[in-house]
Amino acid sequence: MKGLAFDVSHLLAGGLVLVSFMLLYQDRLYALLNTFALQAVVLSLSVAWQAYVQDADHLYVTAFIAFAFKAIIIPIALHRIIVQLGIHRDVENVVGVGPTMMAGLALVALSEVVMLRIASDADVLAREDLAFALSVVLLGLLMMVVRHNAVSMVVGFMSLENGLILAAAGAKGMPLVVEVSVAFSVLVALVVIGVFLFRISERFESIDAEALDSFRGSR
C-alpha cells in the first residue's frame, strides 16, 4: 500500500510538472486556457490523493476548491473576457520555444537537486512532492517572464499558485487556514485582474502588457 500511495502521488505531481511544460509553448489563448484547466484537474486529483493517503479530510475541500475554481470557473471567465475583448483569435509570439523549454528543464533540475539534498531526513513522499512543487513554481515564474500578454501572465501566475497548493498539500497536517486562504486569494486576485483587464482594454484597446511598457512616465 505504501508503495502504491507513493507511486500514485509521484505520478500526479509529475503530471503537474509536465502540464507546466505544456503551458510554456501554447501560443493560442484558448489552448492556453484549456491547458491551464487541465493542470487544475491534475492538481485537484493530486490533492485529493494526498487527502486519501494522509487521511486528512480537509484536503478534499482544497481539492474541490481547486477543481471548481481553477478548472471550471476561472477558465470560463477568462474565455468570456478574451471573447469580449475580441482577442481570442490572436496568436501570441512565443519567443524561442526551444530555449524556453531548455530553461524550464534547467529549473526543474535545479529544484530537484536543491530539494532532494536539503530535505534528506524528511519523509520521502513529502520531499518528492516538495521538489515537484518547486518545479511548478519556477516554471510558473518562467512563464510570467517570457510572456507579454496580460492573460498569459495571469495564467502563469495561477500555475505558480498551483505549485504552492501542491506544496501545502504535501506538508503533512498543515492547517486548512492556509489552503483556503490561498484559494480565496486567487479568487480575489482574479477579481482584481478582471478589473484591470477591463480598464486596460478601455484605455488601450489591447491587453498586450508591452503596450503598457511603452509608456514609461517621467522617471
Q: How many residues does the chain have?
A: 219
Least distance in angstroms from the C-beta of 170 to other proteins: 9
Of 84, 97, 196, 205, the residue at the interface with other proteins (CB under 8 A) is 196
Of 73, 83, 114, 124, the residue at the interface with other proteins (CB under 8 A) is 114
Give the separation between CA 155 and CA 147, rounded to whole angstroms: 10
Give the separation between CA 21 and CA 218, rounded to whole angstroms: 38
Q: Which stretch, 5-13, 36-44, 77-85, 171-179, contacts other proteins (CB under 8 A)?
A: 171-179
Instruction: Rule CB under 8 A: say whether 161 interacts with other proteins.
Output: yes
Provide the strand spans (E) within the chain: none
Residues 84, 200: contact at Cβ < 8 Å?
no
* Minimum CB distance to other proteins smaller for 98 or for 120: 120
Of 73, 185, 205, 210, the residue at the interface with other proteins (CB under 8 A) is 185
Rounded to 10°, the helix 2-24/124-146 angle is 10
Instruction: Rule CB under 8 A: say whether 122 interacts with other proteins.
Output: yes
Q: How many residues bind other proteins (CB under 8 A)?
A: 51
Q: Which long-range contacts (CB under 8 A, 24 or more apart) does 21-25 make?
A: 21/101, 21/104, 21/139, 23/139, 23/143, 23/155, 23/156, 23/159, 24/94, 24/97, 24/100, 24/101, 24/104, 24/139, 24/142, 24/143, 24/146, 25/94, 25/97, 25/100, 25/101
Give the separation between CA 59 and CA 82, rounded to whole angstroms: 32
Q: Which residue bears the cell 500578454? A: 149
Instruction: Rule CB under 8 A: say whether 10 interacts with other proteins.
Output: no
Of 74, 147, 193, 208, the residue at the interface with other proteins (CB under 8 A) is 193
Instruction: Rule CB under 8 A: say whether 109 interacts with other proteins.
Output: no
Instruction: Rule CB under 8 A: say whether 205 interacts with other proteins.
Output: no
Q: Which stretch, 13-21, 25-33, 76-84, 207-215, contacts other proteins (CB under 8 A)?
A: 207-215
Q: How many helices (DSSP H) and strands (DSSP E) are in the chain?
A: 9, 0
Instruction: Rule CB under 8 A: say whether 177 interacts with other proteins.
Output: yes
Residues found near other proteins in the complex (CB under 8 A): 114-115, 117-122, 126, 130, 133-134, 137, 141, 144, 150, 153, 157, 160-161, 163-164, 167-168, 171-175, 177-178, 181-182, 185, 188-189, 192-193, 195-196, 199-200, 203-204, 209, 212-213, 215, 217-219
